[in-house]
Structure formats: C-alpha cells, structure tokens
Amino acid sequence: MYEEHRIGVVVPVYNESEFIADVLGGVPAFVDRIYAVDDCSTDDTWGEIQRQQRAVEAPTATTTDGGAETAPRLVATRHADNRGRGAAVKTGYGMALDDGMEVVAVMDGDGQMDPAHLDRLLDPIVDGVADYTKGNRLSTAAHRAQMSRWRVFGNVLLTGLTRVASGYWGMTDPQNGYTAISADALSTLDVDALYDRYG
C-alpha cells in the first residue's frame, strides 16, 4: 500500500528477457500487485517472468476466521498471439481493476523507467489532485542526457506535432509510457477502444 491506497503496476513486455528480471525485482515494496503481461515474446521473456514469479514470496493476509490466505504479488499472464503494447496494457488494466487496485501504474519491461520515480506519479493521484499522471523525460537536462541526440530530437519533434494536432500546448513528452491512473478514472474509460499497438 501507498498512502492507504492499493497500488498495481502493469508491466507490458515483449522480447525483454535481458531486462525483465531486474524490472520486476526493482518494483518498490509498497506496490501490492505486479501484472507482468507477456505479449507472446519469441525469446525467453516468458521463462524469466515465470522464474521471477516462483522466486517472489507471496504476501500473507489474515482472514476473518483467523486463517491465512496468500495472494501472489506477481501475477503473470501471456497473450497467445502478439497483439501490441497497448493490448498488453489493457490486459493488465483489466486484471488490476478486477483485483480492486485503487491506482494502476504502467512500467515497461525494458528497464528504461526508473522505479524510484514511481511515487512521483502516485502522489498527485493519492492526494486527489489528478486522476492521471505521466513521466516526462524532457523536463531536465539530466533526464535528456540519458537519451541519444536523435532520440531527443525525435521526442521534441513528436511533442511539437502532438501539441499542434491535439491543441494541448502544455503537453510534454507524449511518447512517455510511464503513467499512473486512478481506478475511478480507469473504470470510466472504454478500455477496449484504446489502441492495441502504440497510440
């Protein structure tokens, strides 16, 4: 729990066997449930996820009759066909809502999203200031320094085009997929209508 809110993290992944163990292992302890959604990887990503799942100790909760029940912290699922990053996020969103998570974040399986910054995405939501937050790699020189010049150029160009197309002139780094959303906001969306690929 984080500030009395149940937190879920969706990890959409495709062919990230080199990074996925570190990503899953780096999710902060305050996260109640991690939803690793393998979008039919062709490498050993699914095997790595399953190894991590076996290695994670299931937290224990006390039931009303004094007994104990276990709920896995890491929930893994795999698409039978490659459907796209968006489809993997949608699968994770559905699982998180079904499990009663109050805030759901998305952290890609490629290791580019620093889990140490997750609380910065959660704070505006748990404080009731926002229903949706996202990361911004263009906000400081330190963040941009970790990106190649071509990638910075591409992101700045796409940010400008997105501002023109959407009319949201304050938007920065719209390609950043490090996000969090309240369950209230998520439950009002037509999740099935969201893009299956990138969008």
Q: What is residue 30's predicted lDDT score, i.e. its pLDDT?
A: 97
Q: What is residue 112's predicted lDDT score, i.e. its pLDDT?
A: 82
Residue of higher predicted confidence among 52 and 156: 52
Q: What is residue 143's predicted lDDT score, i.e. its pLDDT?
A: 59
Percentage of residues of the chain with pLDDT beyond 70: 80
Q: What is residue 97's predicted lDDT score, i.e. its pLDDT?
A: 97
How far apart are the C-alpha atoms of 146 and 156, rounded to whole Å?
15
Q: How confident is the model at residue 40 (pLDDT cuts 50, 70, 90)?
A: very high
Asked whether residue 180 carries a pLDDT value surpassing 90, the answer given is yes
Q: What is residue 140's predicted lDDT score, i.e. its pLDDT?
A: 60
**The pair of three-digit structure tokens given for residue 118, joined into one six-digit string:** 């997750």
Tens-place pLDDT, residues 119-176: 999 999 999 999 999 876 556 666 556 667 777 677 677 767 767 887 877 767 666 6
Asked whether residue 183 carries a pLDDT value surpassing 90, the answer given is yes
Asked whether residue 62 carries a pLDDT value surpassing 60, the answer given is no
Asked whether residue 67 carries a pLDDT value surpassing 70, the answer given is no
Q: What is residue 146's predicted lDDT score, i.e. its pLDDT?
A: 63
Tens-place pLDDT, residues 88-107: 999 999 999 999 999 999 99
Residue of higher predicted confidence among 75 and 156: 75
